[in-house]
Amino acid sequence: MSELTIEELNQTDDGTFVEILGDVYESSPWVAEQAQSERPFASVEDLHGAMESAVRNASRDEKTALLREHPDLGEQTEMTEASEEEQASAGLDQLSPNQYEAFQRLNEEYREKFGFPFIMAVRDESPNAIREAMEERVGHSKPEEFHTALNEVHEIARLRLDDMLRA
């Protein structure tokens, strides 16, 4: 999709607004639905703040569902276009068989412990840096990692909005 300005986005009808922003928070259009009532937005930062606030004000179950929408890193499965691009930028679409096995093992261990996939804003990170972060974060407590994963989701959303909207 071509880039829009924040002014152009502000002028869309509610359905178009949600259609455009529905995957900013991975397959969770409810975030855009909640944020649209805050229009007009003066900046991309204001829009991101409204979307972040919608997540912050959501129930624990809604937040958990949002986290579960994210794909496993390095997984060769169907995912949103944005996730495919982000993972490719980190070389996760070109893992060696050994790297792929390590990611699968870590993804399984992480998901088993926390109940959602490992989430990290991976754009332009290396597979080794991502693997190291996975190894570190699997040692976190459940509350600490829930908070960390949500912060990563917000960073991913900010990067996606920056890509979609021009100043």
| Positions marked active-site | 70
CB of 90 closer than 8 Å to CB of 118? no
What are the beta bridge partners of residue 94?
Answer: none
Closest CA to 80 of 128, 27, 140: 27
What are the beta bridge partners of residue 4?
Answer: 165
4 vs 163: CA distance, rounded Å = 10
